[in-house]
Copies of this chain bind each other. A is one copy, B any other.
Amino acid sequence: MPSSHKRRQRLVKKRSGKAGLPPGTPVHIGEKVSQYTKISVMDYDEAGCRETELTGIDECLIFKDRPTVTWINIEGVHDTAVLQKLGECYGIHPLTLEDIMNTDQRPKREDFGSYIYIVLSMLHPSGADNGAATEQVSLILGENFVFSFQEGIKGDAFDPVRERIRSGGGRIRKFGADYLAYSLIDSIVDNYFSVLEGFGERIEALEDELVENPTPATLGHLHAFKREMIFLRKSVWPLREVISGLQRGESPLIRQSTVIYLRDVYDHTIQVIDTIETFRDMLSGMLDIYLSGINNRMNSVMKTLTFIATIFMPLTFIAGIYGMNFSYMPELQWRWGYPVVLLGMAVAGALMVVYFRKKKWM
């Protein structure tokens, strides 16, 4: 169930440790997902591609002035020293470093002139319950480099991009750093689709369950889905603005040839939003169905009770009368008293049934 999963995920991440520090002080906010900081570099041009995994950040710096496109992917953002060194070398503003370490950012895009800073949420479809864990991904797009920072949850959506760089097919090796940044964003948005596919299947299953055999547990799942949608929505809506901003092509870092691809990923984002809104509408509709279902059943329960009470209360009363112990009750002595009373009861009961039928209560 997504609810239990989400409840573990805190509504508001602790920032208290940071209150009072001057702005631009990089302090890690959020759970420390991984212990280590893993740095992997892909450095490529049309001719070839070098791939290395680094142990220290110092080795990164040599890529700075090469004409090739350099992609440095850093997993684990809790290590202040690493970020500061990188920041100094590549001229990253302290506020950007601070934002990278605060893992509760909403998606945004900031243009610092010499680089564009982009924050996104990457979804991890988590096994059993199909709920989705969120990992903050920061991208820094410079003239000839892209840095990507992940919180460090295992696995990411970037493998297909890596594969394409290695193979050298397609456009990616021919185009610049902006196309690489686009490819990373595209693979993150594609990831949303597969998570939504999972949700879609489960919502349809829930819908069937709702119609065929609703239980209070069905309701619990329904509410858990609604909750999930609140969070999903919160992380996707600003995405739209982010990509639309990139696509407007105001920064010289983004070439005209890439804009057409960004328009494509923008369309995908709209589609993701559309799908989430459709899910929300459907879940609202399903809640209505559930509630009117309960009302219907309640109605039918009450009718049964009323039917039984209306039949047997008068009959029991009649039986009670002839159970009284008065000395002078002439009917009791009549030879046909008993059968006549039984008959009377049967007739009264039958009349009740007819009345109920007429009122359509049966």
Contacts and interface: CB of A to CB of B under 8 A. Distances in A.
Interface stretch (A74-82, A134-142, A291-299): A291-299
A308 B313 contact: yes
Interface in A269-310: 270-271, 274-275, 278-279, 281-282, 285, 287-299, 301-306, 308-310
A302 B298 contact: yes
Nearest to A95: B264
A291 B290 contact: no
Interface stretch (A43-51, A245-253, A321-329): A321-329
B313 A194 contact: no
A310 B304 contact: yes
Interface stretch (A56-64, A83-91, A102-110): A102-110
B322 A322 contact: no
A16 B197 contact: yes
Nearest to A182: B23
Contacts of A265: 23
A11 B216 CA distance: 25
A304 to B, nearest CB: 6
A293 B216 CA distance: 8
A193 B15 contact: yes
A230 interface: yes
Contacts of A5: none
A24 B110 CA distance: 28
Most buried by B among A11, A310, A335: A11
Nearest to A216: B296
Contact of A164 (B22, B279, B302): B22
Interface stretch (A33-41, A144-152, A203-211): A203-211
Contacts of A313: 308-309, 312-313, 316
Interface residues of A, number: 121
A144 B236 CA distance: 40
Contact of A325 (B11, B263, B299, B322): B322
Contacts of A106: 267, 270-271, 274
Contacts of A159: 20
B332 A186 contact: no
Contacts of A299: 294, 297-298, 301
Contacts of A357: none
Contacts of A297: 299
A234 B277 CA distance: 10
Most buried by B among A12, A223, A310: A12
A41 B334 CA distance: 96
A316 B320 contact: yes
A344 interface: no
A243 to B, nearest CB: 14
Interface of A: 7, 10-12, 14-16, 18-24, 93, 95, 99, 104-106, 108, 110, 112, 159-160, 163-164, 169-172, 183, 186-187, 190-191, 193-194, 196-197, 199-201, 203-204, 207-208, 211, 216, 219-220, 223, 226-227, 230-231, 234, 260-261, 263-265, 267, 270-271, 274-275, 278-279, 281-282, 285, 287-299, 301-306, 308-310, 312-317, 319-329, 331-335, 337-338, 341-342, 361
11 contacts: A19-B187, A21-B160, A22-B172, A106-B267, A112-B260, A219-B292, A230-B278, A298-B299, A305-B309, A309-B309, A309-B313
